[in-house]
Structure 1
Amino acid sequence: MAKADEKRDEAARSEVLGQLMTVGRAHSAVTVMFHSAVAAQQGLNATEEKTLDLLQRHGPLTAKELAELTGLAPASVTGLLDRLEDKGFVHRAKHPTDKRRVLVELDQDKLAELAVFFEDWARDIVEACEEFSTDELRTVIRFLSVMSERQHAAAARLTG
């Protein structure tokens, strides 16, 4: 009987993993579409918009640090920063302790123009979370954290 239970458990797990892959792909697609739509409102592309998010969360960064966080090649980051600077979202400043390095800083006023696009979405998130217990939300946080680390590593492998 134990073998039969094991086979049922394996089949159930396989089915759930398949569902997770399907739902994950759908979630990924709508996330990209949402961020593309937000970015387009300000004349940005999704990569530019997500780079602004990184700068907002981490504070001023060097181009090298941005390359590491995004998984983009250094030359790509230079072009990305040039575009963001031309659009007024960032500026380059001397590093406070190492004059050979340059920090990329956000223009907070310009960034505030993007915030309005996320206000409705933030309310939707809070409302959706009402359906879940605190422990369930902790599990979701743990899962998303692990998956973010894995996806970051996968992106790094792709960009070498």
Structure 2
Amino acid sequence: MSRTPENPQEPAQDAPDRADVLRRLTEAGRESSSVTVMFHSAVAARQGLNATEAKTLDLLERDGPLTAKDLVQRTGLAPASVTGLVDRLEAKGFVRRVKHPSDKRRVLVELRREAIADLARTFEDWAREVAELCDEFTTQELETVVRFLSGSTERQRRAAARLAR
């Protein structure tokens, strides 16, 4: 909390109180969540995908090939839903099923990188704008943002897992 120069023990009159900051943080988080969902839905629609399909491609892009069981665990979808999801993505040419390199009985779902080239280009303008925004913050401030987002994401992941039970 900022202090007045005359009396370092007293809060400055214009210093926002914690409750107000938490309220604004909650509002900003809700707005960010809504805009993120709308953005990803629009990106997905341009590629003939639904939001779940697009986020599954994102998961495969970040984590590499996964088994259907891995996808069930990572997405929270039912096994039958994951089978249908993979079938649709394969039919659209975005993924392929390949034999597991060390256990030929298992099958991996692998991203076809050439198929997501257009999808990746869709994010370039947005990524450039985010990079410009990051230039407005110090490295220490960005570390604080990373810490908050990581903690928030983990809590949301746990909440989603509780809902899936």
What TM-score do the two structures reach when normalised by structure 2? Answer: 0.87
Which of 54, 72, 75 lines up with 1:70 in the alignment?
75
**2:62 is equivalent to residue 57 of structure 1:** yes
| 1:141-160 equivalence runs, <5 A | 141-160=146-165
Give the SS at the match of 2:103. coil
Task: Give structure 2 stretches of 5+ with no counterpart.
Answer: 1-9, 11-15
Which residue in the other structure is 1:94 paired with?
99
The C-alpha deviation readout for 1:47-103, integer Å capped at 9, x for no partner, is 111110110110000011112112222222111111111110001111111122110
- Give 1:14 shift: 2.1
Identity %: 67
What is the distance in 1 between the residues matched to 2:136 and 2:30?
22
Query: Which protein, 1 or 2, shows the higher relative CO under an 8 Å CA cutoff with sep ≥ 6?
Result: 1
Q: Secondary structure at the match of 2:93?
A: coil
Q: Is the 8 A contact 1:66 1:77 kept in 2?
A: yes
Partner residue in 2 for 1:8: none
**Separation in 2, partners of 1:141, 1:47:** 25
* Cα distance between partner residues in 2 of 1:142 and 1:99: 40
CA RMSD of aligned residues (A): 1.8
The amino acid across from 1:144 in the alignment is L
User: Counterpart in 2 of 1:44?
Assistant: 49
Q: Secondary structure of 2:108's partner?
A: strand
1:13 aligns with 2:18: yes
Size of the aligned set, in residue pairs, is 153
- For the pair shown, which has the larger CA radius of gyration, 1 or 2? 2
What is the match of residue 132 of structure 2? 127
Which consecutive unaligned segments of at least 5 residues does structure 1 have?
6-10
Match for 2:30 among 25, 31, 34? 25
SS at match of 2:71: helix
Task: Please identify which structure carries the higher helix content.
Answer: 1
Runs (4+) of structure 1 moved beyond 4 Å?
A: none
